[in-house]
Structure 1
Amino acid sequence: MSALDRPVWASLQHQPQWGYGDERARRFRADINRFAATPDESAASLRALAELVQPGEDAVFLAQVPSIVVPPGLEAVKEALGVQMVARRLLPLEDDGLRVLGDADAADMLALATLTEPGPFLARTHTMGRFIGVRIEGRLAAMAGERMRFPGHVEVSGVCTHPDFRGQGLARRLSAAVTADLQRRGEQPFLHAWVTNAAAISLYKSLGFEVRATVNIAVLKRRPA
């Protein structure tokens, strides 16, 4: 099985400082991201995953190629399908006018992600990798960056554009720039999109990404007592 089949698990194994758990189940820290994962669907792994989810509003996201099994004590409050795509064409490195984003931009990045919902994005998600963006008249108009990573692979993620600045090709420009930079560093870029998001899939295909697999996605919470 490829590490791409369980990218969350592979990422948490590669950089354990981002999360907590053990060899049966792990999840990201609450300020980093909401993803959790197991190495398999054994009873021991599922029990360990359930133990990582607290009662109340706590929720974890699962994303993997194998079918998702909901652990006893948890329930799926959302289930959907996505596609996993990998870059198959070398892109030129063109980043004129783009700026690297960091801690000083964190509040604006969180506000933009909260508005546009590109996927789970929390206060410290931007520390998972290099993020770049475009500011127009001081406002963060669009951004894109890196999320999950494991040897030889880095995920392109957090691609979003403020509604006031859509239609200017910013998402394409930023996605291409992140992808090209990863390729320059010798990494294999990959990404995820909802299977229903035809516009995003078409954009990524135009940049040389190809669909590798369908990904099962679920949001799990503790079942009410």
Structure 2
Amino acid sequence: MKTLEEKLKNPVWYSLNETHHKFLIAYDGVQFYHPDICIFGSFFDPSKTAKALNAYAKIADKFFLVSENETPIIDTNYVLLEKKIEGCQMILEEFVDFKITEDIVLLTAEHMDEVHALIWLVMPGFYRKRGFEMGTYFGIYKDDTLVSITGQRMQTDDFVEISGVVTHPDHTRNGYARQLIAHTTKEILKEKKLPILHTNKGNPAIPLYEKLGYKLTRDMNWWLYRKK
């Protein structure tokens, strides 16, 4: 049995082995989400990645491999590196509660299109509409319009990742994201799991996460590839 620390070092891999096993597409030594759900993949041995990326490129035009410190090997006849996103992992050290003043709504399948539209407005490119199936989403409405959300993405028996933290550009600086993250954190703690999140290095939101009790723990890099 793997420890929590081992799982945190390769969160995509262990999410696909546990909670998200139904979304798994496996190659020799490399595991991916079904591309209708998410375009993340993971590995341990870089020598296995070239063939797996070639195979996955047949069903997805763009996709990520996620790694703490390993560099994937690719076959440039079929797959090209578009960019490397230098990211980091944060885990909850000690939750610092925050007063919730907004009406936070549990989002259901009927909200899937609204969630997709808001994420693509703010962070276009990679979120899949069926990514909604990876975990629970919460939102804040203003004048019957969804203006801010948080979601859950990778998860195992031990941790749940907070993701999809998005606020409409017309509704920023109102504290919606902080309230939603606090609410989602508490919901994860109710499940007796560890809340975690991933973000880009230098993200100005990092101090917000730290105010809620999250701490930086390790690098987590996102290698974005595209089919040639």
TM-score by length of 2: 0.89
Percent identity (aligned): 27
Q: Residue type matched to 1:105 in 2?
A: H
Deviation (angstroms), 1:144 = 0.1
Moved more, 152-161 or 9-18: 9-18
Match of 1:97 among 88, 97, 103: 103
- The yes-or-no answer on 1:167 pairing with 2:170 is no
> Residues 48-63 of structure 1 correspond to what in structure 2 (within 5 A)?
48-54=52-58, 58-63=61-66
| Post-superposition offset of 1:24 | 1.6
CA contact (8 A) 1:27 1:37 kept: yes
Per the TM alignment, residue 94 of structure 1 is displaced from its structure 2 partner at its CA by: 6.4
Q: Which stretches of structure 1, 4 residues or more, deviate above 4 A after TM superposition? A: 91-96
Asked if 2 retains the 8 angstrom alpha-carbon contact of 1:84 and 1:190, the reply is yes
Question: Over residues 197-217 of structure 1, what are the superposed CA-to-partner deviations in whole Å (9 max), with x where a residue is unaligned?
Answer: 1x2111101110000001111
Matching of residue 217 in structure 1 with residue 222 in structure 2: yes
Shift of the 212–172 alpha-carbon distance from structure 1 to 2, 3 Å rule, reads same
1:151-166 to structure 2, matched below 5 A, reads 151-166=157-172
RMSD across aligned C-alpha pairs, in angstroms?
2.0
Q: 1:17 is matched with which residue: 8, 13, 22?
A: 22
* Partner SS, residue 86 of structure 2: strand
The SS at the match of 2:173 is coil
- Partner-residue secondary structure (3-state), 1:113: helix
Determine the C-alpha separation between the residues in 2 that align with 1:94 and 1:116.
26
> Paired residue for 1:201, among 192, 201, 206?
206
One-letter amino acid matched to 2:182: A
Is 1:44–2:48 an aligned residue pair? yes
5+ long unaligned stretches in structure 1: none
Structure 2 CA distance for aligned equivalents of residues 119 and 72 of structure 1 = 24
SS at match of 1:124: helix
Q: Is the 8 A contact 1:53 1:59 kept in 2?
A: yes
Cα distance in 1, alignment partners of residues 205 and 152 from structure 2: 17
Residue range with higher mean Cα deviation, 171-180 or 43-52: 43-52
Q: Which runs of 5+ in 2 are unaligned?
A: none
Find the aligned partners of 1:118 and 1:200 in 2 and give their Cα distance.
18
Amino acid at match of 1:67: E
Q: Secondary structure at the match of 1:110?
A: helix
Cα distance in 2 for residues equivalent to 1:50 and 1:178: 37
Work out which of the residue numbers 70, 85, 104 in structure 2 matches 1:80: 85
